[in-house]
Amino acid sequence: MQNRILLEISVESAERAAAAERGGADRLELCSNLAAGGLTPGRDLMQAVRGSVKIPVFAMIRPRAGDFLYTDVEFADMRQAIALAREMRMDGVVLGLLTPERHVDVPRTRQLVEAARGMQVTFHRAIDESADLLKAVDAAAEAGASRILTSGGKTTASEGAAIIAAMRERARRRLVILPGVGITSRNAAEIIRWTGAREVHAALTSVVRPDADAKTFEDEVRRLADSLATI
List, for residues 117-157, the tens digit of each pLDDT value: 999 999 999 999 999 999 999 999 999 999 999 999 999 99
Q: How much is the pLDDT for 3?
A: 77
Q: How many domains does the chain have?
A: 1
pLDDT at 1: 42
Residue at 203 is within a domain:
yes
Indicate whether 209 belongs to any domain.
yes
- Structural domain boundaries enclosing 145: 6-229
Q: 33 φ, ψ to 5°? A: 50, 65
Structural contact between residues 123 and 109, judged by C-beta atoms closer than 8 angstroms? yes
pLDDT in tens, 18-72: 999 999 999 999 999 999 999 999 999 999 999 999 999 999 999 999 999 999 9
CB 125 within 8 A of CB 98: no
| Cα–Cα nearest to 183, from 160, 164, 158 | 158
Is 1 part of a structural domain of the chain?
no
Indicate whether 30 belongs to any domain: yes
Closest CA to 148 of 114, 124, 117, 180: 124
pTM above 0.75, yes or no: yes
Q: Given this model, what pLDDT does residue 53 score?
A: 98
Cβ pair 178, 197 in contact under 8 A? yes
Does residue 201 belong to any structural domain of this protein?
yes
The model's pLDDT over 171-221, given as tens digits with 9 standing for 90+, comes to: 998 999 999 999 999 999 999 999 999 999 999 999 999 999 999 999 999
- CA dist 126 and 47 (Å) reads 26
Q: What CATH number does the domain containing 199 carry? A: 3.20.20.380
